[in-house]
Amino acid sequence: MKKIFHLQQENKNPERLLESIKHEIRKYFKRERGKKLPEKAVFWDFDCRFGQNSDEAQTVAPSEIIKALDKAYDEKWEQCYVEIIARASYSVKEETDETDKA
């Protein structure tokens, strides 16, 4: 998802608009996590960026997207740019020798 959300719109309650944006972001995370994983993948991981526009966007953790959105709303931004890219994450299994256990 690469999208610009308008935080200030005429004839719309700003708090309800903010909640609808949060709902759309959470819905996207849920939909992506529900997709089938590639072979040997363990879970879905997300690369996220957030800013006023795509040029100024900075990398943020997926758990920080909602907090960053709240901060942008408090600072009265006109719009914000959200980029969320899902990628499969593979675990690294440690191989242990049977001789180490003895």
Compute, in degrees rounded to 10, the torsion defined by CA atoms 29, 31, 33, 39.
Answer: -140
Please tell me the pTM assigned to this model: 0.83
Q: Which band of pLDDT confidence, cut at 50, 70 and 90, is reported for residue 93?
A: low
Name the residue ranges covered by the structural domains of the chain: 2-35+43-89
Angle between helices 65-74 and 14-33 (to 10 degrees): 170
Residue 96, burial from CB neighbour count under 10 angstroms (0-12, 13-18, 19+): exposed
- Reported as a single tens digit per residue, the pLDDT across 61-87 is 999 999 999 999 999 999 999 999 999
